[in-house]
Structure 1
Amino acid sequence: MTTTLLPAEVLGRMVASDPGRPRLTWYDDGPGPTAGERIELSARVLVNWVSKAANLLQDDAAAGPGTTVGLDLPAHWRSLYWALATWSVGATVVVGDASLGADVLGADVLVTDSPAAAAGHGGDAVLVSLPALARSHPEAAEAPGAVDEARELATHGDLFSPMSDAEPGDVALAAAGVDTAYGDLVVVEQAWGPSPRVALAGGLEQVLHLALAAWAVDGSVVLVRGDRTDLADRFASEAVTVDARESA
């Protein structure tokens, strides 16, 4: 018999299994202000980020079941905790290219790294700084109505308790016209074996699905950005067992 596993339960299981083991490792090999970054989050630290973001969504934006949260972000370690936070409050994550039919910018809450998108959003907006050590967004003044995540997220609580829970049939992920229910979101990849170390890269929708699949079997994720192909040594040092990059 198949048991439905929800994202919040995936997080809880990881903490119960081994709170200190790395669960999300991020490498940025692309151009820009975050080039060269390596970030590593244990289950405990990941849940801390998720709890703070979920408290922000629930307390400041009244997000819950029925709320849509647009993630106007690249596949990035910050995108993962915002998606998990959205699922923790029982809301719907919206991802994808707006030009291809994804209503990201029209979501009830917009989480974006673009000051222009945040300023133009008619509802609640969160302006995200991608660099790991950012203490405020350098262009926050251009979106005065948005929450400056780097400045304000730390003020929210480390523990989260949802006011309402999503039902298995509620929409968890909306991507360019394709909706995935909470009950269908976490799909276990049995071929990966127990506790896999999974390399990921590519579009945000695919990364979200595969990260959940890895974590559901007590695994971990190495998420990379950029066009480098000479990653064999890195993956060996990170003990990667599955290369599930979209372009691999």
Structure 2
Amino acid sequence: MNATDRTPAATLRSALAADPARPLLTFYDDATGERVELSVATFDNWVAKTANYLQSDLAAEPGDTASLLLPAHWLTAVWLLACSSVGVVADVAGDPAGADLVVTGPDELERARTCKGERVALSLRPLGGRFPQPPQGFADYAAEVPGHGDRFTALAPVDPDEPALRVAGRELTGAQVVQEARADAGRLGLTAGSRLLSTRPYDSWEGLSAGLLAPLTTGGSVVLVRHAEHLDAEALERRRTDERVTHSAS
């Protein structure tokens, strides 16, 4: 990756330029049997569409705050990078009442209703499917985002020294996110081509770093496993073998 990258979105752009076809994120939900594999190019496409939706339809601007009430999921990773692309602060599990907008899964709808700004709901169904019936008071992400362009240009420059992420009581700038993710990658021994399996939730820095950011900064990839409690030790070891995992975080 480019050593001069100072935001997660810039790191993704460098990954796209280096090798768009390589795997970036493989997601398993062992409660539903879902498996999704995203190359750098496919992930970037989702990020661009989401960033365009965020900037245009939701009228988000740099410095706005998005409360992300979402689990460890491939679409959560997309939203984290979309927020970075626009300059919106991603407040993971943050109070929606004080946010400019909220993005929620189906389990947090009532809490999300306290947001006075825009409200977006994700069904988290396999393949990014729509809600059978959209929740009242929310835009259905899966219905809204497909029409947006797969190239994104920010209307205002994103300052890497401004707040970009809040998680578990910590606030980090875009530059700090990249710096700390690189440091974590070093501690984990990640290099280009490393494949990290993470069963950690996304409610802490450690979970976000292992489950997305550290592999992204090093040219590696992540196997993100939700509901790993459904797997016994033998099944998890088989997963590591099948997915050619080189490193693990749990």
Using the size of structure 2 for normalisation, the TM-score is: 0.87
Instruction: Give the structure 2 partner of residue 161 of structure 1.
Output: 153
What is the match of residue 132 of structure 2? 138
Instruction: Report the counterpart of residue 193 of structure 1 in structure 2.
Output: 191
Q: Which residue of structure 2 aligns with residue 202 of structure 1?
A: 200
Q: CA deviation at 1:74?
A: 0.5
Q: Is the 8 A contact 1:113 1:127 kept in 2?
A: yes
Q: CA separation in 2, counterparts of 1:156 and 1:117?
A: 28
- Listed as ranges, the matches of 1:40-55 within 5 Å are 40-55=37-52
Q: Partners of 2:194 and 2:128 in 1: how far apart?
A: 31
Deviations 1:195-239 (A, max 9, x none): 210111222133322311111111001000111242111111111
Pairwise CA distance, 1:118: 4.6
Counterparts of 1:163 and 1:118, CA distance in 2: 27
Corresponding residue number in structure 2 for 1:62? 59
Q: In structure 2, how many angstroms separate the alpha carbons of the residues matched to 1:214 and 1:71? A: 21
Letter in 2 for 1:29: D
- CA distance 1:104–1:208, shift in 2 (3 Å): farther
Distance of aligned partners of 1:133 and 1:214 in 2 relative to their CA distance in 1, 3 Å threshold: closer
Cα distance in structure 2, aligned partners of 1:183 and 1:134? 30
Q: Does the CA-based 8 Å contact 1:69-1:111 persist in structure 2?
A: yes
Distance 2:168 2:208 in 1: 15
Q: Structure 1 residue 19: deviation in Å?
A: 1.0
State which of 152, 169, 172 in structure 1 corresponds to 2:164.
172
Rounded Cα–Cα distance in structure 2 between residues aligned with 1:87 and 1:229: 36
Is the contact between residue 10 and residue 212 of structure 1 (CA under 8 Å) also seen in structure 2? Answer: no
Mean Cα deviation higher: 232-241 or 183-192: 183-192
Q: TM-score normalized by structure 1?
A: 0.87
Residue among 115, 121, 124 paired with 1:121: 115
In 1, distance between residues paired with 2:67 and 2:149?
22
Which residue number corresponds to residue 149 of structure 1? 141
User: Distance between the aligned counterparts of 1:87 and 1:73, measured in 2?
Assistant: 16
Q: Which is worse superposed, 215-224 or 183-192?
A: 183-192
Residues 14-72 of structure 1, C-alpha deviation per residue, up to 9 Å, x if partnerless? 21121111110011113xxxx10000000110001001110111001221211001110
Higher share in helix: 2
Distance 2:219 2:198 in 1: 16
Q: Deviations over 1:89-128 (max 9, x none)?
A: 01100013xxxxx424531110001343454431101111
Instruction: Find 1:78's aligned residue among 75, 79, 104.
Output: 75
Cα distance change of structure 1 residues 233 and 200 upon mapping to structure 2, 3 Å threshold: same
For the 8 Å contact 2:96–2:112, the answer to whether it is kept is no
Structure 2, unpaired ranges of 5+: none
CA distance in 1, matches of 2:33, 2:100: 34
5+ residue gaps, structure 1, are 97-101
* Partner amino acid, structure 1, of 2:218: V
1:103/1:176 contact within 8 Å kept: no
- Between the aligned residues of both structures, percent identity stands at 39
CA contact (8 A) 1:118 1:146 kept: no
Q: Is the 8 A contact 1:118 1:126 kept in 2?
A: no
